[in-house]
Structures are given as structure tokens and as C-alpha cells.
Amino acid sequence: MTSVGTLFVVTGPSGAGKGTLIRELLARRPELEVAVSATTRQRRPGEIDGQDYHFMTEDEFAQAKLAGAFYEEVEYVSGNRYGTLEREVSRILGTGRSCVLEVETQGARAVKYREPSAVTIFIASPTFDELERRLTERATESAGEIGERLALARRQMDEATDFDFVVVNDSVERAAEELVAIADRETKAG
């Protein structure tokens, strides 16, 4: 019988450090694997299709949604759409490995509804001012997009306690250790 790994859902506002902490988690627990999300947003310099995201046109995304290809999907700021492809999650869990999703809070709720055993982890910035600083300094969005992300972040920070765990990213090293400890405790025996 094939064992099925644990489904970890990492969420939180843009700029909280989800990607950084997931990279730290994978470096320390290489047996975990991230499901590559799909998006309609433009590719940023250095991003690789199929590795960073599955980049799709609006039409491709809409067709995939109609075909039921998404585990979860959401329209995010500036009209960009993001989703987790069902085939990615099934491929990883089907090997007995644990799967990590990096999704927006609405998507995290959809995954938890669909898969109640999923472990949801909210990554929080220590303060809203720090979150604003991180978003501004990373300079990957326009001023308008940053404003939209900050407005959404205020709402998302209020939702933190809706998830199984909250990890405050006040120090990458400390927060990564906490994330690893959660993964170690919650990973199903294979």
C-alpha cells in the first residue's frame, strides 16, 4: 500500500517571508516537496516556468479551472490569478512524500475544507510597519500593487488565529527552526 504524506499549507500576507521560510524548511528537510503553483501574472526576471510557477495565460487558466484542474485557486491583487494544480499535489503525496503549498489565505481555507487533515501554518510579520518595509524594499510590485497588498495584509493579519499554527517571522533563523519543528511533529509516519 502506498503511504500518503502530510499536506502542509503555508499562508500569510505578501512580504511576511513565506518563500524564504519555505526555502529554509526544504534545505533542512529535503524529503519535503513544494507543489509549484500556477499563475497568470507576468514572469519576473530570473523566474523559470515549471520551477518557480507554471505561468499561464488567462485563457489557459480559465480552461484549467473549467476542467477542474485546481486544488484551489484565487484571484489576487491587480487581477492576477493563482492556483495549485491537483496533479502537483497528487504527484507528491502519491509518492509518500509530504507536500508543501504556499498559498493565499483564501486558498489555504479552501485546501483545509477539502482536506481537513492538512496542516495550516500562518507566517506573520512581527509588525505591520515591518511588513510594509519588506514589501517596499523587495521592489517586485508597483506602488499601486503594494498598496493593494498592504490593504489585503491588514485583513489577513486579523485572520492569523484561524490557522493551525502561527509563526512570527521576526528572525529567519528562529522562525525557520519553529517551522521545521512543526513539520517534524506533524509529518505522518511513512
Domain boundaries, the chain: 7-186
Helix (H, G, I), strand (E, B) or coil at 145: helix
pTM score of the predicted model:
0.85
What average pLDDT does range 156-182 have in this prediction?
Answer: 93
81-85 and 37-39 as β-strands: parallel, antiparallel, unpaired? antiparallel
What average pLDDT does range 161-186 have in this prediction?
Answer: 96
User: Which of these ranges, 44-53, 68-77, 138-147, has the smallest mean pLDDT?
Assistant: 138-147
Q: Buried (b) or exposed (e) across 32-43, using 16+ Cβ within 10 A?
A: bbbbbbbbbbee
Helix (H, G, I), strand (E, B) or coil at 69: coil
So what's the pLDDT on residue 130? 72
Could you tell me which residue, 65 or 189, shows the higher pLDDT? 65
Percentage of residues in the chain having pLDDT higher than 90: 66
Q: Name the residue with cell 529535503.
A: 30
Q: What CATH architecture applies to the domain 7-186?
A: 3-Layer(aba) Sandwich (3.40)
So what's the pLDDT on residue 125? 85
CB atoms within 10 A of CB 113: 10
User: Which of these ranges, 12-21, 24-33, 55-64, has the smallest mean pLDDT?
Assistant: 12-21
